Every structure is written in C-alpha cells, then in structure tokens.
Amino acid sequence: MIRPRFGILGTVALTAAVFVSASGRAAPDDPAGPYKPFKIADQLYYVGASDYSSYLIVTKAGLIVIDGGDKPVGPQVVANIKALGFDPRTIKILLNTHEHFDHAAGLAEVKRAAAPDVKFYASAADGAIVAAGGVGDPFLKGERFTYEPVKPDVIVKDGDTVSLGGMTLTAHITGGHTPGCTTWTFPVTVAGKTRQALDLCSASVLPGYKLGKTETYPGQTADYERSFATWKKLPCEVFIASHGQFFDLHEKRAKLDAGKADAFVDPAGCRAFVDRAEAHFRDELKKQNG
C-alpha cells in the first residue's frame, strides 16, 4: 500500500532505525499494517497496527485511547475498537506517548470518532508539536513527517494523573527521544491479580541524533539520563510500548492465544529492554564525544 504523505520508504526507514537502535530484532514488513485487536488485561486492549501501537482502556465512565498510529492506522484503531464491541463515541480521553507521526498522525481520525466532549491530554513540549501537526520536531523535518494537527485540551506535567471511571493513569515525562516523550503507568487486572502496566514512550536514539557537547535539542542528553533512571525505578509488570517490536508483541500474542493468560506480564523483559536501550545510548554518547 502506498502512503503518499510519508511514503513507504520514509516510514520503513524510520521504523527500521527506531528498531535497530532499541530492540535489535527485525521490524515487521509493514509497521502500519492491520493487526487483529485483542485483550491484554481486564481493562486493557491492543487496538493498534502490526507495529505502531495503540491501546484502549475501558472504564465505567467511558473509554481512553493512547496513541493513534500514523495516518492509515487512525481508521484501523477506530475499526478495532468497534470490532471488540465498544462504541468509539464513548471515547472520553485521548493520550499520546510522543509527537512523532507514527503515533500522532492518526489521532485526528480517532478524535473525530470519539465523544464530542473528548479531551486530549499531552505534555507541554510534545503537545505543542502535535498541535502544529508535527512541525517543530527538533529532528524530523519536512512534509512527510507532518500530519493533521490536534490541539491538546489539557497539558500534563511529570507526575500528573488522568482519571476516568475509577481508572487513574500517571504521566511520566521521559524525554530524550522527543523533548516531551510521555510514559504512562496504570493498574490493570491480569488473571485475577492487580498488575502495574507501563506504556513506555520510546528510549531510541535515532541515527543522526546528536548527544553530549552538541545536541539535537538543548538538554537532550540530560533528558535521556533522567528517563533511564525513571524507567529503572518505575514498576513495570505489564510491559507495553509505542512500538510492538519493543515488547515482542507478536511473540507474546502467540503465547496468549496458546492459553498463557499472563503472557504480557514481563517485568524482566521490561528491565532488559531499558538496559539494552541505555547501553545503546551510552555507546552513542561515547562515540560522539570520545
């Protein structure tokens, strides 16, 4: 499928870059390709594409959606929510991990399908870029990375909470990959047990990012340092992230389908991911600064 706004090459190249730097495994052929939605935990469903993740959180007072994928994924997210038996018109809250097109370009479509009073919560730094349709990203320049803007209704700071119908999510500003990259944590129930879910924004150092003395944006190196410290401190039992490849979506899905109800409970995998990403960050920092 040709995606005129970004082009296959741009999308695949960027995804491959994100992937190589953070997970070391092969990226799916089409990261925006359709993927069958499914239940991860009692309150949590996967509604994203083959690699570009989106999540549905179900509460007594309506639905919460995290991330819209890129432009072709937006309608898939809406269709996936319907396929699971939920009404998109009850989406009350939209959240975002970060402003890159592969997580934010589909938000406008999800917002159109949502409740008229839906509220979009985002960090100050990334929210300003989503409000400008991707313009203002410190690294991804050019039209192929821009998209339909969505203006945040509420700006979240580090440690702020977002609540709906008995569910509370906490925002952790984990900058570096983008200035306002946001990791979301919240409790879910898996096989009758309460578990802490963590939707990791991204820890990737994209090829071309400058660290140390010269930076892609001022403060980027310190942001990564703080983010790694944060991720190592936060409970991460149900490990999910903005890309399926970060947490082995396809492998865990296969285990879940084979009857392993807690296939997504993976604190060791979460820690190993953070450690791998940090090692890559330190390698880059050293390479660029001697």
Q: Would you name the residues annotated as active-site residues?
A: 98, 100, 102-103, 177, 209, 243
Q: Which is nearer to Zn ion, 13 or 254 (CB)?
A: 13
CB 264, min distance to Zn ion, A: 22
Within 10 Å of residue 158's Cβ, how many Cβ atoms?
Answer: 16
- In 3D space, the residue among 78, 159, 154 whose CA is nearest the CA of residue 119 turns out to be 154
Nearest distance from C-beta of residue 93 to Zn ion, angstroms: 22
Q: Which residue reads 């084979």 in tokens?
A: 258
Comparing every residue's Cβ against Zn ion, the nearest one is 100
Least Å distance, CB 145 to Zn ion, is: 10
CA distances from 227 to 90, 173, 183 (A): 33, 8, 9
CA 87 from chain centre, in angstroms, equals 22
Interhelix angle 8-22/267-289, nearest 10 degrees:
100
Minimum distance from residue 290 beta carbon to Zn ion (Å): 28
d(CA 273, CA 89): 36
Q: How far apart are CA 212 and CA 70, in angstroms?
A: 31
Which of helix, strand or coil describes residue 93? strand
Which residue lies nearer to Zn ion by CB, 31 or 62? 31
Closest separation in Å from C-beta 33 to Zn ion: 18
- Residue closer to Zn ion (CB basis): 43 or 97: 97
Residues that bind Zn ion (CB under 5 A): 100, 202
DSSP summary character for residue 265:
B
Q: Which helix (H) or strand (E) holds 173?
A: strand 167-173
Pick the closer one to Zn ion by CB: 100 or 253: 100
Whole-number CA gyration radius for the chain: 17
Other beta carbons less than 10 A from residue 272's beta carbon: 12
Nearer to Zn ion among residue 177 and residue 253 (C-beta): 177
Angle at 130 between CA 124 and CA 131, to 5 degrees: 85
208: number of Cβ within 10 Å? 9
In angstroms, give the least distance from the CB of 63 to Zn ion.
24
DSSP letter assigned to residue 290: -
For Zn ion, the closer CB: 88 or 134: 134
